[in-house]
């Protein structure tokens, strides 16, 4: 095997704009993930369950839904797809041949294992495992044209939207059949088998979206208990998520953005090579489409009292608006990077992006220590808006520590472990003195190359 051809990316080969996007998305994901640590699971989908849904809490939910929910994951997914393509094309350009496929799939399979361990041992909301699942099918797509990739992604978005609308009609029929079963029972008649099935499914659906006080207390008590108690609760949720079929819509949600990320690297979009006008129109168009749709859906959801059946139809525009706002966020960030503005911030975001794996797991370690019983046990004790007081200090810590770490080490600690396992050899960790450079200078140089 040509070890030079398949070695890890060097500092000089990094694309600053991609690192900035990854760092921004990684920090932004915490805005959503902290809810999964601090409040019962159902709260993520229905703010009326816990954490408050009026006043400041309602505004916190609205801003999250309109600006961030799914958008940060969208950017992160785009960058994941972009990173896969860059690794493969770099290896092929170096003459690695088939060896790069071996490296790529080892990298993905190790990521899958890391994701499984993260989900069971630290937090059920892990994203590494589903990313690895999608990563398995990205390799054959490296040669596909940008146009074809964008068409496939567009079809997936349309199908996801249609599936949610179809789910709404299915839920309506389930509710109506369940009501007929209740009416038949009230008249002393035996419901049909179909009605009994619908009755059972409708009750389970209502319990999932509107869990009772006893169920909420049990969930909170499990996480406030010891580590084993929390592990058992996590295992129940993780097994459920990991048992879903490979073609489950949530995975398409990630895959379509990965395809867009691959296409955008090929087109020079994510590398900040397109003209300023391109990014300006991308931002204006994305926000012009996505923000009004999101705002209307949020207003309608509040007006409808977050009724689960109505929500299925009200939020059926989620995917279209999510993609639009995601692309707008990307465009604004790339405009900033391309203009060389806010270098004090973009250099730090790039450092967070370079150590995204370590920082992502760091979020989980910090939040589990804050909210679970083997830490401070704060789960269920804070209102929704109060949770966002905790986010900026975590951001500040990672924005300060990440560039300092990279002055002394080539990789984040988990990145080093992942790369060593991927290439089957221990990677050099420390930065030699003659290699060290201030993060801002390195970022600017990378941007000029990109």
Question: What average pLDDT does this structure show over 360-376?
Answer: 97
Report the domain count for the chain.
1
Q: Is residue 2 part of a domain?
A: no
For the stretch 39-70, pLDDT in tens is 998 888 788 889 998 999 999 999 999 999 99
Residue 4: predicted pLDDT: 52
The chain-wide mean pLDDT, for the chain, equals 90
HSE-up (13 A, CA, CB side) for residue 52: 14
Residue 6: predicted pLDDT: 61
Distance CA 387, CA 292 (A): 26
pLDDT higher than 70, residue 442? no
Q: Is residue 6 part of a domain?
A: no
Helix locations, 95-145, DSSP H: 99-121, 128-135
pLDDT higher than 90, residue 341? yes
For the stretch 138-166, pLDDT in tens is 999 999 999 999 999 999 999 999 999 99
Q: Is residue 251 part of a domain?
A: yes
Q: Is residue 401 part of a domain?
A: yes
Q: Is residue 4 part of a domain?
A: no
Non-local CB neighbours of 145 within 8 Å, separated by 6+ positions: 266
Distance CA 125, CA 31 (A): 13
Q: Is residue 3 part of a domain?
A: no
Residue 191: predicted pLDDT: 85
pLDDT higher than 80, residue 350? yes
Main-chain phi, psi angles of 28, to 5 degrees: -65, -30
Distance CA 199, CA 175 (A): 8
Distance CA 21, CA 313 (A): 32
Residue 66: predicted pLDDT: 95
Residue 445: predicted pLDDT: 36
Non-local CB neighbours of 111 within 8 Å, separated by 6+ positions: 128, 131, 132, 135, 418
Q: What angle do CA 122, 87, 404 make, to 5 degrees?
A: 55
Residue 361: predicted pLDDT: 98
Range of the domain at 49: 11-449
* pTM given for the model: 0.92
What angle do helix axes 413-423 and 99-121 make, rounded to 10 degrees? 140
Q: Is residue 176 part of a domain?
A: yes
Distance CA 366, CA 349 (A): 19
Q: Is residue 143 part of a domain?
A: yes
Question: What average pLDDT does this structure show over 239-246?
Answer: 91
Question: What average pLDDT does this structure show over 114-126?
Answer: 97
């Amino acid at each position: 095997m040509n070890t030079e051809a398949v070695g890890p990316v060097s500092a000089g080969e990094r694309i600053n704009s991609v690192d900035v996007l990854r760092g921004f998305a990684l920090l932004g994901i915490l805005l959503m993930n902290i809810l999964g640590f601090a409040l019962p699971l159902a709260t993520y989908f229905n703010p009326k369950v816990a954490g408050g849904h009026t006043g400041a809490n309602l505004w916190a939910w609205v801003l999250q839904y309109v600006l961030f929910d799914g958008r940060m994951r969208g950017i992160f997914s785009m960058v994941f797809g972009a990173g896969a393509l860059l690794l493969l094309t770099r290896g092929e350009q170096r003459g690695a041949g088939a060896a790069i496929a071996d490296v790529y799939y080892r990298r993905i399979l190790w990521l899958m294992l890391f994701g499984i361990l993260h989900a069971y041992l630290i937090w059920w909301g892990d994203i590494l495992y589903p990313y690895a699942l999608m990563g398995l099918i990205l390799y054959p797509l490296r040669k596909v044209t940008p146009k074809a990739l964008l068409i496939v992604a567009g079809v997936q978005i349309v199908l996801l939207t249609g599936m949610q609308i179809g789910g709404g009609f299915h839920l309506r029929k389930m509710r109506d059949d369940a009501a007929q079963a209740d009416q038949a029972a009230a008249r002393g008649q035996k419901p049909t088998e179909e009605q009994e099935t619908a009755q059972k499914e409708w009750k389970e659906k209502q319990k999932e979206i509107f869990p009772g006080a006893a169920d909420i207390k049990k969930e909170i008590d499990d996480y406030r208990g010891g580590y084993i108690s929390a592990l058992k609760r996590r295992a129940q949720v993780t097994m459920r998520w990991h048992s879903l079929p490979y073609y489950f819509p949530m995975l398409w949600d990630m895959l379509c953005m990965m395809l867009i990320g691959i296409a955008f690297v090929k087109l020079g979009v994510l590398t900040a090579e397109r003209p300023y006008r391109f990014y300006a129109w991308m931002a204006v168009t994305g926000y012009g489409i996505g923000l009004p749709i999101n705002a209307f859906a949020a207003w309608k959801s509040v007006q409808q009292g977050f009724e689960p059946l109505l929500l299925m139809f009200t939020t059926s525009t989620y995917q279209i608006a999510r993609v639009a706002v995601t692309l707008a966020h990307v465009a604004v960030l790339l405009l900033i990077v391309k203009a060389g503005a806010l270098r004090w911030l973009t250099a730090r975001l790039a450092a967070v992006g370079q150590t995204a794996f370590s920082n992502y797991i760091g979020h989980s370690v910090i939040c589990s220590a804050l909210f679970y019983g083997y830490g401070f046990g704060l789960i269920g004790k804070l209102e929704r808006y109060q949770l966002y007081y905790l986010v900026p200090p975590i951001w500040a810590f990672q924005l300060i520590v990440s560039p300092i770490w990279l002055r002394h080490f080539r990789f984040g600690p988990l990145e080093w472990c992942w790369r060593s396992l991927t290439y089957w050899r221990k990677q050099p960790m420390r930065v030699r003195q003659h290699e060290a450079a201030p993060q801002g200078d390195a970022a600017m140089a990378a941007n000029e190359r990109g």
